[in-house]
Structure 1
Amino acid sequence: MKRRIFKFYILSAITLVGIYSCTNLEIEESDSIISDGFQGLADPSSAVEGLYNTIAGQYGDQANRFALNEVTTDAALVPTRGTDWGDNGRWRNLHTHDWTTEAGDIIGPFNQFNANQLVASQILDSRSNPSGQNIGDASFLRAYSMWNILDWFGQIPFRDTSLPSSTLPEVITGQAAVDFILADLDQAIANLPDVTAGNVENNKGSKAAARFLKAKVLLNKHIYIGGSPESSDMNEVVSLVDAIAAQGYGLQAGYFNIFRDSADDETIFALASGVGNRIFNGLHYNSTSLGGGGWNGFSTLAEYYDLFEGDPNNNRLDASGAPLDGQEERRGGVPPGGTTYSNAPQTTDDGGFEAGSNVGNGFLVGQQYALDGSALEDRAGGPLSFGRDFVDGNGNNSLINNSEVTGIRVIKYAPRYGEFRSHQVVFRYADAHLMKAEAQMRSGGDPTALVNELRAIRGVAPFGSVSEQELLNERGRELFAETWRRNDMIRFGQYTRAWEFKSADKVGDVTRQLFPIPAAQLLANPNLTQNPGY
């Protein structure tokens, strides 16, 4: 990787010498472009903190990374309601797989995560004099950023900070890219601190977090290099998850409590990322007084909602929070009103009720209610009752001309515990547990016992056996809205299948498993090549 770029520099330096016909052929520092560009960071610790904060902001965004990983799947879509959420087809094209090389939600992540890995490389440069902790954090964040780029685009432009900034970044792909990321993660594991369960802080890496990401990379390795999963990789996934469990991480009862800003046994890595987008992007304008109401956009497909146990048309709770429609805990439910204010932690008073407590957890379908128990209305005075279907004014299935109440809405972070708190779970043990089950399955074992262990904690009946399809479904039930859906669907061979509103000519189109390299980047760096199909 380095050798080819170094030759480019030497030739450049020789050319400059020839052009200027210097009488002194000794190349001084002032004569050569070799010394141009980066010279080290004065404060690598501040750079690490800034990089964590940057990634936290990227993670909390409803566009870009979230849109690529969720809206391009069966788990999320954003219909146009009147003039709202039109945006020149931006959201619809992601869901139908009709994106182009000029899509902002493709250009943005390419630029953002490549910028992240450059900052991390600058921290790791010996001229920055990084501490062991700096090396651990920067290696972890560089691996995370490069893995995202590899997963989305299949190729990573890498800039060596020891070379002049005018040098074109080399592009790494396949096995070389995987090896680079895994080496960074090994370096992160060696340098990051041990953080046991219940002690995870926002924006803090740990050995457990690096092990989680290494397991994720190994589980997906065959997608990036071709072929089938290797038993040795699957065995290492199991070992990595076991090492995480040895630090006290495990499955925790009380599903939605995991997504509060408090200690739990499941959270492995969290970012100081605002939850406001996750809350308001799907709620109706009249759903709550918090934040001035919702933005009435994001919804989920009925087919995704139907993965969960319960009545397909209702998802109600009684006043105590008990399910009324046979739904499993993870599907959540719609309460009949607000909860009386009792000064419970993280809650605020709103006229004797906990502010936002009329908004349910999980999947919101059917009539919605105000804090006092009265039925809410939409802006036209009709019932605020979220429906399963996306239809236009003529009753035809459509992603445009929808009313204010089409589509089931999704809430993972309850607004009653702080609608603008900065805490989002990124890695958690339930995911690691299911990765272990999958690794066992892909190396010839039976994942049933591990899947049933999770289902027992979540209060749903055990399976007699677990197929590959059922394992994907279980990941969908457990990890909804946590930005893993695209990655999972590709690994299970489901990303090219049909779902509601996907364009017919994109069904079965394997070229959509990678996003296009932005046109401006191709012009700037001829080492990049456009992905097939674009």
Structure 2
Amino acid sequence: MKKMKRIISIIMTACLFVTWSCTDLDETIYREIIAENYYQNEDEIRAAMMRPFVQNTQSISGFLKNVWILQELSADIVCFPQKGPHGYDGGDWIRFHRREYTTDERRCYNSWDQLYAGIGYVNSLLADFEKLDFAALGVTSFTKEQSVAELRSLRAYFYWILLDLFGNVPITTTITENSPASKPRSEVFAFVEQELTESIPYLSEDVVKSQGRISKWGAYAILAYLYLNAEVYTGTPQLTKCIAACDAINASGKFSIDTEWYTPFCKANETASRENIFTAACDPIYAPDNTWFQRFGHYSHQGGFGFKYATWNSTVTTPGFYSKFDPTDKRGYVGHLYGPQYKVNKYNPDHSFDFDKSKPLLGTEEFKGFPLIMAEREVILKAVTDGPGIKVESVSHPEFTEEDLAPVFTFIETDPTLIATLQNLISINGGVEYEFKLSEDYLGERNMDRGAENIGARSVKYEIDFDATTAGLTNDWVIFRLSRINFIKAEALMRQNGNVATDEVCDLINAVKERSYDEGTFIPYTPATLTMDELLLEMGREFAYEGWRRVDLVRFDKFVKDYEWWDYTPNGKEYDNIFPIPHRRLNNNPNLTPNEANAHRSAT
């Protein structure tokens, strides 16, 4: 993987020098570059191959990329509410959460453009490679067939995302075709299936050498997920094929479920995790695209955690979802920051924090100067005068006790500024007592357009590097891991069995879930307790924020009906299971066919 990241750095550095070449007035200018002359050795071919994978990292697969926005911010686990004057951003996030988007959403046309740009890079390279003699160029580390198979598999991955998001889309495999026509969704599905099945025999089985690219097992993972969603895409289930693809990965013996729930997301996950199958390589300098905690972190986390970069207080766990974690589930209470926030002393090996509870972090906006408490429901404290000082007498909150908030009480009762503020408020209130809120009642209102600075839990799923000088993490972005394969196979088996779990299904899910619980607290699923609804819920807990929640909700028929979350009420409109093809792309290409969503959505 280090070599892979070095290649990325070479590509990015080379791009920087393109503009400088114009200053050399004596250089020879050629009308076009001939592939046979441009590629001179193995390193140049390898570097060229990485261009579409860099496109995948920078623009497609990753946190808060446009595709991620469509797949996650339209669903039930994560949102980006406006907080006072911050985060409106043209209303983009509000429209996606509430399902009020138009046919001209920039997140939609950016996703469309970036996916087809990646396809264009692949098509261009395939045309070049067709003319090359790899052996004559001294290529020994990989074959021409393997290179072509990797590129075709990546292109299939891009087309799978397109057919999932937009339905009927054009298929083009050359760089010369102008204004290609739309193809039915079932035909795009068949194309993706064929590309993958034809490529798999030539792909590398070496997990280490293929990290950040696509190995045989990465292609099988894409294929398994494609087959799991086949009924959505084509009307015909392909569950037997789905199970076979999962079995091929398991039979390889290359992967295992990591002992700890957080290992797939740790700083050195390219070497530490035995679970990850297909990842996008990230690097703080050359591919700084995993900016996880910069987005989830509150403004005060920058100083409280000692970061050298700003935290933006943007994305949050959708109110109502955090409470779906069991109190002993480490994916919940360790994987999120919730409740009172404090200065961090150190980051522990088990992914938890050692907090200095004598130093609470403070709000900076509507709760400026007061202790910062991340919450989903209102936290009401009652203060009374205590001679010359202030006494916090009680707390009202369904999750936090007085013991939980004791450090907060101490801070309020000893901070001179807050003492003066509360004494004044008590005086105005009749000189007896004063109830004040340290959050808002989010669950009972529609608040995407008027959230507060401390709304919702904040995810720390990807390990934080406290020594980092930039927001971009070194942790590679996880696309598919063995846990997902367990869930895919389990769901396929359940659907084959009339949506009823079996012992085998329970074993697959329990093998993933057990590691997340405190010792002695794990209660395994049984065929009686693992229903389809519970499977979807557990899927959300395990794969929260990983980029595919909308896909799962659509497959369970919960995206537009029978499932309500925070600021969204199901509308029952099946056309919302896909996004409208961008209006401006329809205008640019007369051969594009609008999909059903276009017929019901306007351009404004």
TM-score computed with the length of structure 2 as normaliser? 0.69
What residue number does 2:94 align with? 92
1:345 is matched with none
Work out which of the residue numbers 251, 254, 258 in structure 1 matches 2:260.
Answer: 254
Equivalent position SS for 2:360: coil
Q: Could you tell me which residue of structure 1 aligns to residue 574 of structure 2?
A: 510
What is the CA distance between 1:295 and its match in structure 2? 0.6
- 1:54-203 matched pairs, under 5 angstroms: 54-58=55-59, 59-125=61-127, 127-129=130-132, 131-161=144-174, 164-165=176-177, 167-196=178-207, 199=208, 202-203=211-212
One of 450, 462, 467 as aligned partner of 2:508: 450
Q: What are the ranges of 5 or more consecutive residues in structure 2 without an aligned counterpart?
A: 1-31, 40-44, 135-143, 283-287, 378-438
Q: Relative to structure 1, is the Cα distance of residues 270 and 373 closer, same or farther in structure 2, using a 3 angstrom cutoff? A: farther
The separation in 1 between residues aligned to 2:167 and 2:591, in whole angstroms, is 13
Given residue 460 of structure 2, which amino acid in structure 1 is its aligned partner?
A: I
Match of 2:318 among 285, 301, 313: 301
**Cα deviation 1:311-353 (Å, max 9, x = unaligned):** xxxxxxxxxxxxxxx34445425598677xxxxxxxxxxxxx5
> 1:94-149: per-residue Cα shift (whole Å, max 9, x none)?
11111111111111001110121122122223645382232122111101100000
For the residue of structure 2 that corresponds to 1:243, the secondary structure is helix
- What is the letter of the counterpart of residue 265 of structure 2? F
Q: Match of 2:277, SS?
A: strand
Corresponding residue for residue 592 of structure 2 = 528
When Rg is computed on C-alpha atoms for both structures, the one with the higher figure is 2
SS of residue paired to 1:269: strand
1:220 aligns with 2:229: yes
1:485: which partner in 2?
A: 549
Amino acid of the residue matched to residue 52 of structure 2? L
Contact 1:194 1:206 in 2 (8 A): yes
**Match for residue 463 of structure 2 among 393, 414, 420:** 414
CA offset digits 1:157-180 (Å, max 9, x no partner): 122427x44x32132223221111
Report if the CA contact (8 A) 1:39-1:127 is conserved.
Answer: no
The match for 1:278 among 281, 287, 292 is 292
Task: Specify whether residues 168 and 397 from structure 1 end up closer, same or farther in structure 2 by C-alpha distance, changes over 3 A only.
Answer: closer
SS in structure 1 of the partner of residue 169 of structure 2: strand
TM-fit CA distance, 1:48: 1.8
Match of 1:464 among 517, 523, 526: 526
Determine the structure 1 residue equivalent to 2:539: 475
Q: Which residue matches 1:386?
A: 374
The alpha-carbon distance between structure 1 residues 98 and 56, as it changes in their structure 2 partners (threshold 3 A), is: same
Contact 1:195–1:208 (Cα < 8 Å) also in 2: no
Q: 1: CA distance between counterparts of 2:453 and 2:125? A: 48
Q: Is the alpha carbon distance of 1:201 and 1:338 closer, same or farther for their aligned partners in structure 2, counting shifts above 3 Å?
A: farther
Is the 2:331–2:541 contact (alpha carbons within 8 Å) kept by the matching residues of 1? no
Identity of aligned residues (%): 24
**For the Cα contact (< 8 Å) 2:447–2:567, is it kept in 1?**
no
Question: How far off is 1:407 after superposition?
Answer: 1.6
Question: Which residue of 2 is the match for residue 266 of structure 1?
Answer: 275
Over the aligned positions, Cα root-mean-square deviation in angstroms equals 2.9
- Mapped partners of 1:132, 1:456: distance in 2: 41
Q: How many Å apart are 1:524 and its aligned residue?
A: 2.0
Q: Distance in 1 between matches of 2:300 and 2:248?
A: 47
CA contact (8 A) 1:334 1:359 kept: no
Give me the TM-score of the superposition, normalised by structure 1.
0.78
* 1:429-470 Cα shifts (integer Å, max 9, x gaps): 000111011111121272223222222333331122221111
Encode CA deviations 1:449-503: one digit per residue, 9 max, x unaligned.
Answer: 3222222333331122221111111211111110110111011111113434545
Higher relative contact order (CA 8 A, sep 6+): 2
Alignment map for 1:16-35 (pairs within 5 Å): none
3-state SS of 1:453 partner: helix
Q: Which residue of structure 1 aligns with residue 11 of structure 2?
A: none
Question: Secondary structure, in 3 states, of the residue corresponding to 2:321?
Answer: helix
Separation (CA, whole Å) in 2 of partners of 1:426 and 1:518:
25
Match of 2:564 in 1: 499
Between the aligned partners of 2:350 and 2:376, the Cα distance in structure 1 is: 17
CA distance, structure 2, for counterparts of residue 360 and residue 282 of structure 1: 20
Residue range with higher mean Cα deviation, 374-383 or 124-133:
124-133
The 8 Å contact of residues 83 and 453 in structure 2, kept in 1 or not, is answered as: yes
| Cα deviation, residue 275, structure 1 | 5.8
Q: CA deviation at 1:224?
A: 0.7
Q: Which amino acid aligns with 1:513?
A: N
Q: Which amino acid aligns with 2:564?
A: W
8 Å CA contact retained: 2:255, 2:275: yes
Q: Could you say if the C-alpha distance between residues 331 and 121 of structure 1 is closer, same or farther in structure 2, counting changes exceeding 3 Å? A: farther
1:303 match: secondary structure: coil
Structure 1 unaligned spans of 5+: 1-36, 311-325, 340-352, 363-367
Displacement of 1:216 after TM fit? 0.7
* 1:238 aligned to which of 243, 250, 257: 243
Equivalent-residue separation in structure 1 for 2:362 and 2:209 (angstroms):
41
SS of residue matched to 2:151: helix
1:38: how far off?
11
Three-state SS of the structure 2 residue aligned to 1:112 is: helix
1:284 and 1:293 in contact (8 A); partners too: no
* SS of residue in 2 equivalent to 1:101: coil
Shift of 1:251: 1.2
Distance in 2 of aligned mates of 1:266 and 1:377: 38
Q: Distance in 2 between matches of 1:408 and 1:77?
A: 11
> Does the residue aligned with 1:83 lie in a helix, a strand or coil?
coil
Task: Give the aligned residue type for 1:385.
Answer: I
Q: Structure 1: how far apart are the matches of 2:488 and 2:215? A: 19
In 2, are the aligned partners of 1:391 and 1:397 still within 8 Å (CA)?
no
Structure 2: distance between partners of 1:281 and 1:294: 6
Letter paired with 2:537: N
